[in-house]
Amino acid sequence: MVKEVFVDSETLPYCFKGTNISIDSLTLHRDPKLWGEDAEEFKPERWLNGGELAFYYPFGGGPRICIGLRFAIMETKMILVRLLKTFELKRCLETEDFLTPIL
């Protein structure tokens, strides 16, 4: 993934305005400094709290974004539709109301 720097950076002293920065997502997704010693393990619970998503770029970005992104989104929508058509959703009477009606 390549991004262009729009302002001079104090965090990265050699990145001046107009510099392109490339991020290697394969290395980023396996970095023990970001994910811990178990960085190579599949642990979906990492994303339950939402804090680590800033370091996760499964489809990349920019002009070379993964061509599978739109397919994955469409497939997810199709699965959701199939689930909603197949099953009837009912609210558990023991569940607290956490949604506020809009109308």
Determine the pLDDT at residue 53: 61
Residues facing residue 22 across a β-bridge:
2
8 Cα distance to chain centroid: 27
Provide the mean pLDDT of the chain: 78
pTM: 0.49
Q: Is the pLDDT of residue 12 over 60?
A: yes
**Considering only CA atoms, which of 15, 17, 22, 20 is closest in space to residue 57?**
22
Q: Is the pLDDT of residue 13 over 80?
A: no
| CA angle in degrees (0–180, nearest 5) for 76-78-82 | 115
In sign, the C-alpha dihedral spanning 70, 41, 3, 52 is positive
pLDDT tier at 49, thresholds 50, 70, 90: confident
Neighbouring C-beta atoms of residue 78, cutoff 10 Å:
10
DSSP structure class, residue 100 = P
Contact between 1 and 23 (Cβ < 8 Å): yes
pLDDT tens-digit series, residues 77-95: 999 999 999 999 888 888 7
- Mean pLDDT value of segment 26-48: 83
pLDDT above 70 coverage of the chain, percent: 77
Instruction: From residue 42, give the alpha-carbon distance in Å to each of 24, 30, 59, 72.
Output: 19, 11, 17, 19
